[in-house]
A and B are shown apart, each in its own frame.
Chain A
Amino acid sequence: MIRYLLPLALFLAIVSFLAVGLNRDPRIVPSPLIGKPAPAFSLTSLTAPDRRLTLADLQGRVVLLNVWATWCVACYAEHPFLLEIARSGRFPIYGINYKDQRPAALSWLERLGDPYVASIFDPEGELALDLGVYGAPETFVLDANGVIAHKHIGPITPEVWQDSLLPLLNALEPRG
């Protein structure tokens, strides 16, 4: 009996490992920064070049920090939904304008609408490097103390919002 059961068990073990392993998206690299304070920075605001933004500007509330760029096609796809989140007014969205050019980024916001409370202008990707950003769009959830609670890689879709981001945001900042 064992001589039939053992290969079967081995086969099932391999199949279950493959089922888990092959269904993972290798492009999604888990961030080691979850649960750690967001890095300090001092960069100019995209819309107000003479104003400097720092981590203190993001603290005090639960915020979304969205990495975007005009060269990023998925950001274009994500943009209308960000506007929707912004319109609901519950959670402020800050942007990191990533490796972009100021005029292009400004005209993007003018043309498509600006969902951001403010966008941090990061043309060299220095803040992005400290945040372990490796593409756009990426979205971080920061709690009121500026601790990174979550990182979403790829565009925020209504499904992502309903299934993962909103429950987390509600847990961090109960409605009331």
Chain B
Amino acid sequence: MRALMLILTIALGVEASAQDSVFEEREFADAVQEQRFRALTNELRCLVCQNQAISDSNAGLAAQLRDEVYSMLIAGASDEEIVEFMVSRYGDFVLFRPPLRGHTWVLWFGPFVLLALAFGYLFHQIRRRGTSPDGDDGEEHPPGHLAEPEPRLEERTDA
């Protein structure tokens, strides 16, 4: 039991410290605002260290962008306004999740199209294999009817 408590304490402690900003102490009006700050800084990409969010990068630019998000939040900007502010300066690249637009259609739906094509091909193959055991004879057989073994070898030796 004590071991369990200890594990829980450590786990929760780690969890709590992971939640707090690693870099600056900030004051928020309420928990909602704090939550919005956290969500926004997790969604915006640091351009210097490109696979980190601005929330977990210690690059100077990330700090500057965190400050900007914070001061806009405090000034009452909406999440959309803050995201728009960043996108208008740095482009869609600052967003970890690219928006759905004409030229990102392939990005969003391409994989599903490929998956559908692959499944289509797979089912096609299964159907063919299921009806004609030797696959390539091109003849339709009624379902459940086993094709009679064809005397291929003999044919070839005859010919």
- Tell me the A residues contacting B by CB distance below 8 Å: 26-27, 29-33, 99, 124-125, 129-132, 134-135
- Report the separation of the CA atoms of residues A31 and B68 in the bound assembly, to the nearest whole angstrom: 19
Per CB-CB distance, the 5 closest pairs between chain A and chain B, nearest first, are A134-B47, A132-B89, A32-B91, A29-B93, A132-B90
Question: Nearest residue in A to B45 (C-beta to C-beta)?
Answer: A29
- Tell me the B residues contacting A by CB distance below 8 Å: 47-48, 50, 60-61, 64-65, 68, 87-93
Contact of B50 among A27, A30, A125, A129 (CB under 8 A): A27
Residues of B within 8 A of A131 (CB): 89
Instruction: Tell me the smallest distance from the CB of A55 to a CB of chain B, in Å.
Output: 16
Instruction: Tell me the smallest distance from the CB of B114 to a CB of chain A, in Å.
Output: 10
Residues of B within 8 A of A30 (CB): 91, 93
Number of A-B contacts (CB under 8 A): 38
- Report the separation of the CA atoms of residues A131 and B61 in the bound assembly, to the nearest whole angstrom: 13
| Given A29-B91, A30-B93, A129-B68, 4 new contacts (CB under 8 A) | A29-B90, A32-B90, A125-B64, A129-B89
Whether the pair A134, B90 counts as a contact (CB closer than 8 A) is: yes
Residues of B within 8 A of A135 (CB): 47-48, 61
Interface of chain A: mostly helix, strand, loop or mixed: loop
Instruction: Tell me the smallest distance from the CB of B107 to a CB of chain A, in Å.
Output: 12
- Report the separation of the CA atoms of residues A33 and B65 in the bound assembly, to the nearest whole angstrom: 18
Question: Nearest residue in B to A131 (C-beta to C-beta)?
Answer: B89
Question: Nearest residue in A to B89 (C-beta to C-beta)?
Answer: A132
Known A125-B64, A129-B68; judge A31-B91 contact (CB<8 A).
yes
Residues of A within 8 A of B92 (CB): 32
Instruction: Tell me the smallest distance from the CB of B110 to a CB of chain A, in Å.
Output: 11
Residues of A within 8 A of B91 (CB): 29-32, 132
- The contact sample of 30 A-B pairs, CB cut-off 8 A, is A26-B50, A27-B50, A29-B90, A29-B91, A30-B91, A31-B90, A31-B91, A32-B87, A32-B88, A32-B89, A32-B90, A32-B91, A32-B92, A33-B89, A99-B60, A124-B64, A125-B61, A129-B64, A129-B65, A129-B68, A130-B89, A132-B89, A132-B90, A132-B91, A134-B47, A134-B48, A134-B90, A135-B47, A135-B48, A135-B61
Instruction: Tell me the smallest distance from the CB of A156 to a CB of chain B, in Å.
Output: 20
Residues of B within 8 A of A130 (CB): 89
Residues of A within 8 A of B87 (CB): 32
- Report the separation of the CA atoms of residues A30 and B47 in the bound assembly, to the nearest whole angstrom: 11
Instruction: Tell me the smallest distance from the CB of A124 to a CB of chain B, in Å.
Output: 8
Question: Nearest residue in A to B93 (C-beta to C-beta)?
Answer: A29
Residues of A within 8 A of B65 (CB): 129
- Report the separation of the CA atoms of residues A150 and B53 in the bound assembly, to the nearest whole angstrom: 27
Instruction: Tell me the smallest distance from the CB of A18 to a CB of chain B, in Å.
Output: 15
- Report the separation of the CA atoms of residues A56 and B50 in the bound assembly, to the nearest whole angstrom: 34
- Report the separation of the CA atoms of residues A135 and B89 in the bound assembly, to the nearest whole angstrom: 14
Known A27-B50, A29-B47, A129-B68; judge A134-B88 contact (CB<8 A).
no
Instruction: Tell me the smallest distance from the CB of A71 to a CB of chain B, in Å.
Output: 10
